Chain A
Amino acid sequence: MELSKQTLNKIDEVIPKYPEKRSAALMVIHLVQDELGSISDDTCSWIAEKLDLEPINIKELITFYPMLRETPWGKKHVRVCRTLPCALRGSYKTCKILEEKLGVKEGNVREDGEFSIEFMECLADCGEGPVVMVGEKTYENIEGKNADKFARLLASNDLESSKDFISYEDNLSTGAPKVKKTTK
């Protein structure tokens, strides 16, 4: 297992912040997973040693928390909110459209490793559903025709340069006007 110097430094910075080493487990796992994409058994052992724990103490976290992975997601991981408020606004259809356009079923990684889709539980942005996250960015009101266009842009890697979809996060930093809400 190889980690970059930067990640190793970050790990060494985060552990002593906590009153007890074990508390840093999730933060260390996040740092490692951000770089490697998933946590193998060897990685579990390495993290455990870092925190003076047994490998099982890390393994039990990896197998419990939904965001921790034993196998990596695709290069672009797409999270679609499944829970009721988004579902009432059409998230099941949105998920289907994304599955078709990206060529991968939810819960899976496309063969070439480019895309993966996760139809997951509440993303806490229910007022602007259906909500779709691409990587670390949150896109709102992705339904109907909108979803079609969104999926096409995403599939051709043009989403980020598109002005039609501005993420919640980018809206904050640029102060740009909000994405126009579609009337349903």
Chain B
Amino acid sequence: MIKKNMPKERRIILKNADDPKYSNQISCYTDRGGYEMLKKSYKLRPEDICEEVLKSGVRGRGGAGFPAGMKWKFLDRKSGKPIYLICNADESEPGTFKDRQIMYKDPHQLIEGMMIAAYAIQAKQAFIYIRAEFFEGARILENAIKEAKSQKFCGDKILGTSFSCDLIVHRGAGAYICGEETGLIESLEGKRPNPRIKPPYFPAVLGLYQCPTIVNNVETLCNVKHIMEMGGDEFAKIGKPNNTGTRIWCVSGHVNKPGYYEFECGALTLGEMIYDVCGGLLPGRSLKAVIPGGSSSKVLRADERFTGKLKDGTEFDWSIDDIPLDFDGPTSAGSMSGSGGIIVMDDSVDMVEAMANINAFYAHESCGQCTPCREGSLWMKKITNRMCSGGAREEDADLLLSVANQIEGRTICAFGEAASWPTQSFIAKFRDEFEQKAKEGAGKPALELI
């Protein structure tokens, strides 16, 4: 049942994507005002564009939620080295499938956003690092770049100005770690994608080829176009303070209508998303848990109360349904909105099996550079697999927790946290199920998720 005052989707980024009359050809894009913002931006000074992006407050849509304007500000412009722009299109956080929609259905929006960003940061060479499983996506982008070049929206002397920026589509090869920006840079240099340690290797100072580099997510770069259309101040009015613009939420798992939905930040709660937008849970089922921001984010238990103080000092006391869908809401609830991938689990799920499934992912994707992560992620997988195959022991919950705690904070990149947060939160919130496994012994065989 749809509530009367239910917030409506506000499609800015996905405005055209699912229109049956729209395709990924350049004529469709220009017919609807495409590349007009490029023309407008190239009449401005680069620093004016940076200022608008800063004012917009737009936060990165890839997972960390770092303000994009701030990232651009950190760029070392005095080194005299070339500056590079990289679009992180290695969409691979489990539960996330928004960037695919943009690139397959509206590639020119990304190219326009990138060419505005490139001019703003004065990058003469830009890359789209796309995951290799997006075979057709890479071809669509290649073709779109060709089209854009033929109309001087990209490449040599853009719009007849003295500014040139080439754009290359670079395909990865199936490694999740390439979504980590320094791992991505290593990969783009033709090496194994072992992430670099920060400091000193902040990409804005020492990025690609040790040159200043900006790495932004697909959705973030598309937002740049809309910021230029509205102006930074107007853009900042969408959503809530510190949570500006829209977000494309990706809902998967046990709801009736999984999918991607674009809403103003904070326009709805997690409960409204699950029950009103996504049509609720499957018949006869009840909610058990939600992973709110991709599989790395900490799991939320359906019957938890979330209490505390918001940044502005107001106290909150939320049920899982009350959590606002913006950047800060899930963070206040002890998790994060991450890449916007909301994974819904109903009461049919065995949480130890779900844990085992997630652990298998991280064990497979650890780059192996740091010992705690390489060994720890594998051991967590082995333990949860054993637990699901009838070999659970009483001490397993504590053992898992001790392994996870020895990874967190002891690795070069945030993959260590991404691999340990699921285990820490599953044990904290569903310890009873982990202990129950030991009592069941070999009685219950592994079922659906491992």
Residues on A facing B (Cβ under 8 Å): 17-27, 29-30, 51, 53, 57, 60-61, 64-68, 79, 82-85, 87-90, 92-93, 120-129, 133, 136-137, 168-169, 172-173, 175, 183-184
Contact = CB atoms under 8 A, between A and B. Distances in A.
Given A23-B189, A84-B358, A89 B133 contact: no
B190 A25 contact: yes
Given A87-B449, A126-B341, 19 more contacts: A17-B168, A18-B168, A19-B82, A26-B173, A66-B364, A67-B173, A84-B95, A85-B343, A87-B357, A121-B92, A122-B94, A124-B99, A124-B100, A125-B100, A127-B259, A127-B260, A129-B258, A168-B104, A169-B136
Contacts of B343: 84-85, 88, 126
Contacts of B252: 85, 88-89, 126-127, 129
Interface size class of B (residues with CB under 8 A): 35 or more
Contact of A85 (B24, B82, B94, B192): B94
Given A65-B174, A133-B133, A83 B295 contact: yes
Contact of A27 (B135, B166, B170, B358): B170
Q: Which of A17, A53, A65, A168 is the most central at the interface, judged by chain B CB atoms within 10 Å of its CB?
A: A65
Given A84-B354, A85-B343, A87-B449, A124 B190 contact: no
Contact of B97 (A20, A82, A124, A175): A124
Nearest to B131: A124
Interface in B155-191: 166, 168, 170-176, 187-191
A57 B186 CA distance: 13
Interface of B: 20, 23-24, 82, 91-97, 99-100, 104-105, 125, 131-136, 166, 168, 170-176, 187-193, 209, 250-254, 256, 258-260, 282, 291, 295, 341, 343, 345, 349, 354, 357-358, 360-361, 364-365, 367, 448-450
11 contacts: A22-B191, A51-B190, A53-B190, A61-B192, A84-B357, A89-B253, A121-B94, A126-B250, A127-B252, A129-B258, A137-B136
Contact of B105 (A19, A53, A82, A172): A172
B444 to A, nearest CB: 16
Q: Which of A17, A85, A129 is the most central at the interface, judged by chain B CB atoms within 10 Å of its CB?
A: A85
Given A65-B173, A83-B94, A136 B135 contact: yes
